[in-house]
């Protein structure tokens, strides 16, 4: 996958509700539901329960972060 392809795919979900799954170290997995609030050149942010979390496109490419629309 290419960074530009991933960025354009995630940009389609801007201002829409998404589910973000984060696969961390030592089998710690996190699931978030929120609104994709901004798309920047190297990160995107999701508004989750009153706070904003940012994620890298490179983590999406390697599979540590999965973004799906709801």
pLDDT in tens, 6-53: 999 999 999 999 999 999 888 899 999 999 999 999 999 999 999 999
Output the CA torsion 20→66→68→41 (10° steps).
90
CB 23 within 8 A of CB 64: yes
User: How far apart, in whole angstroms, are the C-alpha atoms of residue 55 and residue 63?
Assistant: 12
pLDDT reported for residue 17: 97
Domain ranges of the chain: 3-69
User: How far apart, in whole angstroms, are the C-alpha atoms of residue 13 and residue 40?
Assistant: 13
Tokens of 59: 């983590």
Specify the DSSP class assigned to residue 61.
H
Question: Is pLDDT at 1 greater than 90 in this prediction?
Answer: no
**How is domain 3-69 classified at the CATH fold level?**
SH3 type barrels. (2.30.30)
């Amino acid at each position: 996958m290419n960074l530009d392809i991933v960025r354009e795919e995630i940009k389609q979900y801007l201002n829409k509700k998404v589910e973000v799954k984060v696969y961390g170290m030592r089998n710690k997995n996190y699931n978030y539901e929120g609104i994709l609030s901004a798309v920047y050149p190297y990160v995107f942010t999701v508004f989750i329960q009153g706070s904003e979390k940012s994620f890298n496109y490179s983590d999406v490419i390697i599979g540590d972060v999965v973004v799906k629309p709801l």
